[in-house]
């Protein structure tokens, strides 16, 4: 039974609402700083540090303070908030541009990691107990607080959403009768932020006031989890038997490693939710204990399978931020199930009574690892850059196949520095690469276009072939391609390379030219043709039939002049000078 650790005095109740109001005002000021470009918003490091304090300090207060809170806890949340602010400052310092795209990408990852870390720190701090002048973490208290916290967070989020939907309904109802005051009011930042924080805090406090309801919901979740657990274990066992007949190759061909990851995490969460009590009172039937034990001891096999699939990807393509996160998750999932298997071997069917010791130690290690990922100690961006550069220098990745956008926009400052390094090493011998890097670096600073793009020459990306050299192209055509790239389709500067093919679509003496842009995952086709002595362009695409070429084969055939033409099935319709075409 969860003790009512969440009781509050009237002063604490009102103080937490005031904290929520201050949090809303702080978030409003930061929003205004971004919108109006105040001095504080010019530094991404300062901005992330301020957001960290504005979010984390109130959260630790609203979810952690109770009648039993001592003065040490207030010191704890203050110091910990400053520590998180330092991590936020480091994360922000790795952002090159303060564009909304960069801020959104970095803030999402940072926010997700910090959310998990903050709530785990909150739980561990509340589960500390002192016995004979020795501090230790009481696992029963820890798991109780975890369930209580999850339920509180869930219902507080529902309450906040309900409040917001009611306000939207209010605004739209009055707008329907031409009273737009509320529609303007409720969408203003100065109303939205305080409303959001106050609604969330009020929802938290109302849930905390009803500990008995939380206990009932927790008991229901526990019973349902225990009902789902045998199904998950049976699924994993049957799938393992199927693998003996089907082999491993279908898993690698169909991306099954991610699904195995999902299965393992689902079993891990469901297992710990179901077996909250170390007395194991829910496992009443001996056969249930044996079946569950046998199912869990087989799970390290899945860990090995998913780990091998991950290893293959890394061996082939090198490390990336996503793969490093996959490695981190895999390491901890493997640690949990290997430790559970070791407990089964040692303690037999009573192994679940020792979950607390395993989960506590691994939980603390996980918190440390999560915090390290947002610091120089385990910066995934720097590790990814080092791995990618090593693959380029070793020849595993061709320099022309490097995903420049990934370096520029996903790897932050280390990625941008790596691009400049590639320019120094390969730029003099590879003008096309130099042009692509210049273009992508300019988009980092200003993703919506930059007048400096006028200095770039897209024709350096053009690749000669055995059937057409660059010198054979008409100068007016090259000028038109350059103008098209600068003013119509600046993405051409970010292509890996540009192929150009001379084709004859009209059956006359003149030639048309097909420009083929190679991107990371797709191709673009632009036809350049002459009309009344002026070069114009139109986009083209490939219509796949029942037995299609892959696009690279199509491009190679075009370059080798292995193609035919056919008349269109439908003529154009001309109405009052306007042309209608069937595509």
Domain endpoint, select from 150, 175, 209: 209
Higher per-residue pLDDT: 582 or 511: 511
Q: Count of CB atoms within 10 A of residue 574's CB?
A: 9
Percent of the chain beyond pLDDT 90? Answer: 27
Domain assignment present for residue 282? The answer is: no
Reply yes or no on whether the pLDDT at 19 is more than 80: yes
Q: Which DSSP string do the residues of 390-456 spell out, in sequence order?
A: HHHHHTSS-GGG--HHIIIIISHHHHHHHHHHHHHHHTTT-HHHHHHHHHHHHHHH-TT--GGGGG-
Q: How far apart are CA 305 and CA 248, in angstroms?
A: 8
Reply yes or no on whether the pLDDT at 549 is more than 70: no
**If you average pLDDT over each of 156-165, 276-285, 340-349, 567-576, which comes out highest?**
156-165
Can you list the pairs that 107-111 forms with residues at least 24 positions away whose Cβ atoms lie under 8 Å?
107/48, 107/51, 110/48, 110/374
Per the structure, how many domains does the chain have? 2
pLDDT band at 455 (very low <50, low <70, confident <90, very high): low
* Cross-strand bridge partners of residue 502: 513
Percent of the chain beyond pLDDT 70? Answer: 90
pLDDT at res. 344:
86
pLDDT at res. 48:
93
CB-side neighbour CA atoms (13 Å) of 433: 19
pLDDT at res. 130:
63
Query: For residue range 229-255, what is the model confidence (pLDDT) as tens digits?
Result: 888 888 888 888 888 787 777 776 666
Quick one: which of 58, 103, 99 has its CA closest to 78?
Answer: 58
Q: How far apart are CA 507 and CA 510, in angstroms?
A: 8
Query: For residue range 163-172, what is the model confidence (pLDDT) as tens digits?
Result: 999 999 998 9
Q: How far apart are CA 494 and CA 461, in angstroms?
A: 10
> What Rg, from alpha-carbon coordinates, does the chain have?
30
Reply yes or no on whether the pLDDT at 3 is more than 50: no
Residue 535: CB partners within 8 Å, gap ≥ 6? 476, 477, 479, 480, 528, 529
pLDDT band at 451 (very low <50, low <70, confident <90, very high): very low
Asked if 205 contacts 159 with a C-beta cutoff of 8 angstroms, the reply is no
Domain assignment present for residue 450? The answer is: no
Residue 522: CB partners within 8 Å, gap ≥ 6? none
Reply yes or no on whether the pLDDT at 27 is more than 80: yes
Q: How far apart are CA 319 and CA 399, in angstroms?
A: 16
What average pLDDT does the chain have? 84
Q: Which DSSP string do the residues of 12-64 spell out, in sequence order?
A: HHHHHHHHHHHHHHHHHHHHHHHHTT-GGGG-HHHHHHHHHHHHHHHHHHHHH
Domain assignment present for residue 276? The answer is: no
Reply yes or no on whether the pLDDT at 100 is more than 70: no
Quick one: which of 417, 416, 406 has its CA closest to 520?
Answer: 406
pLDDT at res. 235:
86
pLDDT at res. 181:
86
Quick one: which of 147, 288, 284, 157 has its CA closest to 221?
Answer: 147
Distances from the Cα of 577 to the Cαs of 497, 572, 580, in angstroms?
39, 12, 10
Domain endpoint, select from 209, 232, 250: 209
Domain assignment present for residue 31? The answer is: yes
pLDDT band at 161 (very low <50, low <70, confident <90, very high): very high
Domain assignment present for residue 109? The answer is: yes
Distance, CA of 147 to chain centre: 26
Domain endpoint, select from 156, 184, 209: 209
Distances from the Cα of 330 to the Cαs of 264, 302, 307, 483, in angstroms?
10, 11, 7, 49
Would you say how long the chain is, in residues?
583
Query: For residue range 147-159, what is the model confidence (pLDDT) as tens digits?
Result: 888 899 999 999 9
pLDDT at res. 85:
94
Higher per-residue pLDDT: 430 or 50: 50
Q: How far apart are CA 543 and CA 559, in angstroms?
A: 18
pLDDT at res. 574:
85
Asked if 373 contacts 402 with a C-beta cutoff of 8 angstroms, the reply is no
Q: Residue 41's domain spans which residues?
A: 1-209
Q: Which DSSP string do the residues of 252-287 spell out, in sequence order?
A: HHTTHHHHHHHHHHHHHHHHHHHT-STT-TT---HH
Quick one: which of 6, 20, 103, 91 has its CA closest to 55?
Answer: 20
Asked if 435 contacts 460 with a C-beta cutoff of 8 angstroms, the reply is yes
Reply yes or no on whether the pLDDT at 375 is more than 90: yes
Q: What is the mean pLDDT of residues 329-349?
A: 88
Query: For residue range 354-369, what is the model confidence (pLDDT) as tens digits?
Result: 888 898 999 999 999 9
Query: For residue range 378-418, what is the model confidence (pLDDT) as tens digits?
Result: 999 999 999 999 988 888 888 878 888 889 888 889 999 99
Q: How far apart are CA 160 and CA 202, in angstroms?
A: 9
Reply yes or no on whether the pLDDT at 1 is more than 60: no
Nearest-5° angle of CA 343, CA 349, CA 350?
A: 70
What six digits make up the tokens of 384? 């990814």
Asked if 432 contacts 460 with a C-beta cutoff of 8 angstroms, the reply is yes
Crossing angle between the packed helical segments 100-126 and 139-176, to the nearest 10 degrees: 140
Domain assignment present for residue 229? The answer is: no
pLDDT at res. 583:
66
**If you average pLDDT over each of 72-81, 279-288, 500-509, which comes out highest?**
72-81
pLDDT at res. 546:
44
Domain assignment present for residue 222? The answer is: no
Helix (H) or strand (E) holding 164: helix 139-176
Domain assignment present for residue 307? The answer is: no
Query: For residue range 179-224, what is the model confidence (pLDDT) as tens digits?
Result: 888 888 888 899 989 999 999 999 999 998 888 888 888 888 888 8
pLDDT at res. 133:
64
Quick one: which of 266, 298, 229, 268 has its CA closest to 362?
Answer: 268
**With 0-12 CB in 10 A as exposed, 13-18 as middle and 19+ as buried, what is 42?**
exposed
pLDDT at res. 509:
67
Distances from the Cα of 198 to the Cαs of 14, 115, 134, 163, in angstroms?
11, 19, 39, 10
């Amino acid at each position: 039974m969860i003790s009512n650790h969440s009781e509050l005095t009237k002063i604490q109740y009102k103080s937490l609402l005031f904290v929520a109001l201050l949090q809303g005002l702080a978030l409003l000021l930061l929003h205004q700083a971004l919108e109006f470009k105040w001095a504080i918003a010019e530094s991404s490091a300062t901005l992330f540090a301020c957001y960290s304090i504005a979010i984390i300090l109130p959260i630790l207060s609203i979810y952690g303070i109770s009648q039993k809170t001592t003065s040490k806890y207030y010191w704890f949340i203050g110091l910990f908030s400053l520590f998180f602010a330092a991590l936020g400052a480091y994360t922000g310092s790795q952002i090159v541009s303060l564009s909304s795209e960069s801020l959104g990408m970095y803030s999402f990852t940072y926010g997700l990691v910090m959310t998990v870390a903050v709530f785990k720190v909150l739980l561990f701090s509340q589960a500390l107990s002192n016995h004979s002048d020795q501090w230790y973490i009481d696992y029963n208290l820890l798991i109780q607080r975890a369930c209580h916290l999850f339920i509180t967070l869930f219902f507080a989020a529902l309450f906040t959403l309900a409040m917001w939907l009611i306000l939207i309904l209010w605004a739209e109802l009055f707008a329907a009768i031409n009273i737009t005051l509320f529609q303007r009011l409720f969408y203003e930042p100065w109303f939205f932020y305080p409303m959001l924080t106050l609604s969330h805090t009020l929802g938290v406090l109302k849930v905390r006031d009803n500990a008995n309801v939380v206990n009932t919901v927790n008991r229901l979740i526990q019973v349902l989890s225990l009902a789902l657990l045998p199904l998950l274990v049976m699924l994993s066992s049957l799938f393992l038997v199927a693998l003996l007949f089907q082999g491993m190759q279908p898993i690698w061909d169909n991306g099954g490693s991610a699904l195995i990851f999902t299965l393992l995490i689902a079993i891990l969460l469901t297992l710990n939710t179901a077996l909250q009590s170390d007395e194991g009172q829910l496992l009443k039937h001996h056969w249930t204990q044996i079946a569950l034990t046998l199912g869990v001891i087989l799970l390290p096999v899945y860990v090995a399978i998913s780990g091998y699939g991950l290893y293959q990807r890394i061996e082939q393509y090198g490390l990336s931020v996503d793969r490093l996160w996959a490695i981190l998750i895999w390491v901890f999932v493997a640690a949990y199930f290997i430790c559970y298997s070791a407990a089964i071997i040692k303690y037999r069917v009573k192994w679940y009574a020792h979950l607390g010791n395993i989960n506590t130690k691994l939980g603390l290690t996980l918190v440390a690892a999560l915090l390290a990922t947002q610091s120089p100690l385990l910066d995934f961006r720097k590790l990814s850059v080092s791995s990618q550069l090593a693959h380029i220098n070793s020849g595993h990745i061709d320099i022309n196949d490097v995903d420049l956008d990934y370096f520029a926009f996903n790897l932050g400052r280390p990625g941008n520095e790596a691009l400049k390094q590639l320019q120094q090493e390969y730029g003099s011998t590879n003008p096309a690469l130099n042009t692509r890097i210049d273009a992508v670096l300019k988009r980092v600073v200003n993703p919506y276009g930059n007048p400096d793009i006028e200095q770039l020459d897209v024709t350096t990306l053009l690749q000669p072939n055995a059937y057409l050299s660059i010198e054979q192209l008409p100068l007016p055509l090259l000028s038109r391609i350059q103008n098209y790239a600068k003013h119509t389709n600046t993405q051409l500067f970010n292509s890996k390379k540009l192929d150009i093919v001379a084709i004859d679509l009209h059956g006359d003496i003149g030639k048309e030219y097909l420009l083929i842009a190679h991107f990371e995952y797709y191709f673009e086709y632009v036809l350049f043709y002459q009309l009344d002595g002026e070069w114009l362009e139109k986009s083209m695409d490939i219509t796949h039939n029942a037995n299609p070429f892959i696009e690279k084969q199509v491009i190679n055939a075009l370059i080798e002049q292995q193609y035919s033409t056919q008349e269109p099935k439908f003529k154009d319709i001309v109405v009052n000078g306007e042309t209608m075409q069937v595509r």
